[in-house]
Amino acid sequence: MNTYPFTFDPGQPFIKQASDWIADVFYDILPEAGFEVRDEQIYMAFQLEKAYAEKKTIFAEAGVGTGKTLVYLLYAIAYARYTRKPAIIACADESLIEQLVKPEGDISKLAKHLNLVVDARLGKSPDQYICLNKLDVVRDDATESDVYRDIYAGLPEFVHYPDTMQSFYPYGNRKEYPELTDGEWSRIGWDVFQDCLVCPQRHRCGQTLSREHYRKSSDLIICSHDFYMEHVWTYDARKREGQLPLLPDHSSVVFDEGHLLETAAQNALTHKLKHSLFESIVVRLLEGEVRETLALAVEEVILESDILFEKLAKYSQPVPASDRKEINWNTDLMNQVGRVQAQIAVIEEELVFESALFTLDDYQLKIVEEHLEMIQIALNLCRRQDQLISWVTGEEADLTLVIMPKKVKEILNEKVFAKKMPVIFSSATLSVEGSFDYIAHSLGIDKYLSFSVASPYDYKEQMQANLMPVLPGVTTTSGASLGLLDLNAVHVQSERVLELLDQSGGRALILFSSIEELAAFRQSTQSLTGYAKYRILYEGSAEISHLISAFQQDETSVLCAVTLWEGLDIPGPSLSNVIVWSLPFPSNDPLFASRRAEAVNAFEEVDMPYMLLRLRQGMGRLIRSREDSGSVSIFGRELDQPDVRQAVEQLLP
């Protein structure tokens, strides 16, 4: 096939020619194939032409049913071929990735009707792959289920026998084990405390093989927001270590459901420190014939680190309705941070002498130096409490210190938005009351293009929306308390939800604001016999795309989810009822607690914009085609507040 799906004249601007071809696609080619082409798509296509021509950032807000995905895919593919660099499509989570690449998805449609061969490959996050080291631990545990031994036995031969490594293919990702619960998967899935750089099995790892595969894509690499941000934050460090960045050089980036990018950026920049991991890293320095002064420095830093984590346990208090503990950064604790840093500095000086003597393996030395530098950066943040969000999780023997910088705007601007590259934010909900200031400010974007197009669907005719009666004790404003201690109130609301399910004969998506809410609902349904007639699917009980497929195929089933406020696309009767268990105000986590503390009016500046964006997304799951119809029912004690009720009512048809 030709490089471009149109006749290219090198004497004319490429983007103008691509735009003319895309106009032909929407005006002629797709209508001839039976597609309903919408004016909103044509308008969006011309808006994106400017973003690609000028290599700028654009907020592309397009309502449900406008066909926005087809538009940005066409530009991304054409521009990738022109620049000979793949485009990155970054989705909010793994379930949205699966929606995009499914056999009946938009990429397949374009390939079929435009006679294109689209090279689209998945770059899944590390936690979506089996960690061979963790699998070895659980399969050797006689108390564990045989399922882990069966998984090990089913791995490719080259995993078991290195001498058979004659051909490679990707293996071991989460989707291959759909029946595992999230808890079961966590026993064998990669986590942040795995040190892949020195893993003896890294060359046989499914994650590594997958990376070799997707890096060779010529058109599209599809990944999550989290993975893209991890690429951004680790880019320099991986270069220094002699490794390839997680993603190759690329021509453009599309952030699908782009309003969720800030949270992914914040999470990617988070440092997690654990004493046991730190000890395992620095003791590597003792494997060679090292000088006594270095050996003593290693012993001393291990001791000081142990004391630091003892003090963190002593000076931290549990946070209600959370699995985290708040740290009291007092003088004693800060002095101990200083002692750890001082000892790390001693080791860094000693390593200068050791490197000159060539007594340490150069690769191991480089890895340890990178870890020590990262720890120093993290501990330096502790000295700037005004710029820090921190907490601890776990118990004394397995305590984890989590350190997150408050603001990521400057880094995002430098590493992403300052590059001369088209950056597309695509979502049905990017603006608040017609303004893009909220998202632009949160991401540190000063200059941008933007446009909004409404959904072509007739929501007044297709959607019935109901604000449900107040049930005290079920939820509270801004996630200050999850409100799940009043199990009687949860039980009462579950009875009301059952009435709504009976009206629609199941066919419902129930959206929760937290895992705790979902768990409380699940517990309450066990004592209500009326739920027995429905097949209820709970997020976390299996791999998410497997649950979505089961929900779509079993028409009267009910799907209960925490993460499916965005992206879920199920047209037809299988989804005829959306039930919002509580208004999706921000959770009681450190990030939003910090934002509230810095705001003049936290409720108006932080809580309400977030809730309204997320609620709009949740309501958008219902109507996915002109033939769809159904109801949205919204619970929430905050609806007693006139300002909240008025704002929510403005979203209703």
Name the least confident of 110-114, 233-237, 448-452: 233-237
Residue 530 located in a structural domain: yes
- Residue 192 scores a pLDDT above 70: yes
Tell whether 507 is covered by a domain.
yes
Q: How many structural domains does the chain have?
A: 2
Query: Residue 201's CB: how many other CB atoms inside 10 A?
Result: 15
Residue 67 placed within a domain: no
How far from 291 is each of 343, 359, 568, CA to CA, in Å?
16, 9, 59
- With a CB cutoff of 8 Å and minimum separation 6, the contacts of 193 are 272, 274, 277
With H, G, I as helix, E, B as strand and everything else as coil, classify residue 537. strand
**Residue 551 to residues 181, 569, 571, 615, Cα–Cα distance (Å):** 16, 12, 12, 21
345 and 493 share one domain: no
- State the Rg of the chain over Cα: 26
Question: Which of the pair, 397 or 34, is modelled with greater confidence?
Answer: 34
470 and 556 inside one domain: yes
Q: How many residues does the chain have?
A: 653
DSSP 8-state assignment for residue 25: I
Is position 467 within any domain? yes
Band the pLDDT of 92: cuts 50, 70, 90.
confident
Same domain, yes or no: 476 and 611: yes
Residue 323 counted as domain residue: yes
**Residues 398, 466: one domain?**
no
- Render pLDDT for 559-596 as a digit per residue (tens, 0 to 9): 999 999 987 889 999 999 999 999 999 877 777 877 78
Asked if pLDDT for residue 485 goes beyond 70, the answer is no
Q: What pLDDT score was predicted for residue 213? A: 87
Per-residue pLDDT, 337: 95
User: Residue 566: which domain range?
Assistant: 461-651
> Cα 483 from chain centroid?
26
Do 502 and 621 belong to one domain? yes
Confidence band (pLDDT; 50, 70, 90) for 321?
low
- Domain with 580 in it: what CATH number? 3.40.50.300
For 76-91, what is the mean pLDDT?
A: 96
Domain stops at, among 357, 379, 405: 405
Q: Provide the pLDDT for residue 590.
A: 75
User: In 3D, which of 291, 293, 288 has the Cα closest to residue 361?
Assistant: 288
> Measured between alpha carbons, how far is 17 from 11 in angstroms, rounded to an integer?
11
Q: What is the pLDDT of residue 157?
A: 85
Q: What is the pLDDT of residues 255-285, one digit of tens each?
A: 999 988 988 888 888 888 999 888 888 887 7
pLDDT of 538 higher than 90: yes
pLDDT category at 479 given cuts 50, 70, 90 is very low
Q: Show Cβ contacts of residue 342 under 8 Å, excluding neighbours closer than 6 positions.
A: none
Rounded-to-10 torsion of CA 286, 292, 296, 298:
-30
Query: Given this model, what pLDDT does residue 2 score?
Result: 54
In a domain, 332, yes or no: yes
Residues 495 and 367 in one domain: no
Confidence of residue 476 (pLDDT cuts 50, 70, 90): very low
604 secondary structure, DSSP code:
I
471 has pLDDT over 70: no
Please determine, for residue 219, whether its predicted confidence score (pLDDT) is greater than 60. Answer: yes
Q: What is the pLDDT of residue 353?
A: 76
Using CA atoms, how far apart are residues 500 and 493, in angstroms rounded to an integer?
11
Residue 189 reports pLDDT greater than 90: yes
Model pLDDT, residue 410: 78
- State whether residue 370 is helix, strand or coil: helix
pLDDT-based confidence at 470, cuts 50/70/90?
Answer: low
Q: Is the pLDDT of residue 356 over 70?
A: no
Question: Is the predicted pLDDT of residue 431 greater than 70, yes or no?
Answer: yes
Asked whether residue 561 is domain-assigned, the answer is: yes
Least confident of 63-67, 69-73, 560-564: 63-67
Q: Is the pLDDT of residue 151 over 90?
A: yes
More reliable by pLDDT, 298 or 486: 298
Counting residues of the chain whose pLDDT is more than 90, the rounded percentage is 51
Per-residue pLDDT, averaged over 66-82, amounts to 93
Residues 587 and 467 in one domain: yes
Determine the pLDDT at residue 477: 39
Which of 405, 421, 442 represents a domain boundary (last residue)? 405
Same-domain pairing of 647 and 503: yes
Q: Is 532 within the bounds of a domain?
A: yes
**pLDDT for the residue 221:** 97
Instruction: Give residue 363's pLDDT.
Output: 64
For the chain, how many helices (H) and strands (E)?
27, 18
Residues 401 and 478 in one domain: no
Phi-psi domain of 507 (left: phi exceeds 0; alpha: psi -120 through 50; beta: other): left
- Whether 646 and 568 map to the same domain: the answer is yes
| Secondary structure string (H, E, C) spanning 128-174 | HEECHHHHHHHHCCCCCCHHHHHHHHCCCHHHHCHHHCCCCCCCCEH
Closest by alpha carbon to 261, among 427, 378, 389, 453?
427
The answer to whether residue 146 scores a pLDDT higher than 70 is yes
Mean pLDDT of the region 607-612: 91
Collect all residues with Cβ–Cβ distance below 8 Å to 30 and sequence separation of at least 6: 37, 113
Q: Is 473 in the same domain as 369? A: no
Q: Please say if the pLDDT value at position 67 is more than 50.
A: yes
Cα–Cα separations (whole angstroms), residue 451 to 46, 59, 425, 426: 11, 7, 11, 10
Q: What is the mean pLDDT of the chain?
A: 87
pTM, two decimal places = 0.83
Least confident range of 181-195, 214-228, 345-359, 481-495? 481-495
Q: What is the mean pLDDT of residues 619-627?
A: 92
Residue type (1 letter), 53: A
Among residues 405, 434, 452, which one ends one of the domains?
405
Q: Read off the pLDDT of residues 159-185 as tens digits, 9 standing for 90 and up.
A: 887 665 556 577 999 999 999 999 999
Q: Residue 414: is its pLDDT beyond 50?
A: yes
Can you tell me the distance from the alpha carbon of 138 to that of 651, in angstroms, rounded to the nearest whole number?
49
More confident site: 386 or 461: 461
Residues in CB range of 635: below 8 A, 6 or more apart: 468, 471, 474, 475, 493, 496, 579, 580, 581, 582, 583
Percent with pLDDT over 70 in the chain: 94
- Tell me, what's the pLDDT at 72? 95
> Same domain for 512 and 380?
no
Task: State how far the Cα of 181 lies from the Cα of 515, in Å rounded to an integer.
Answer: 14
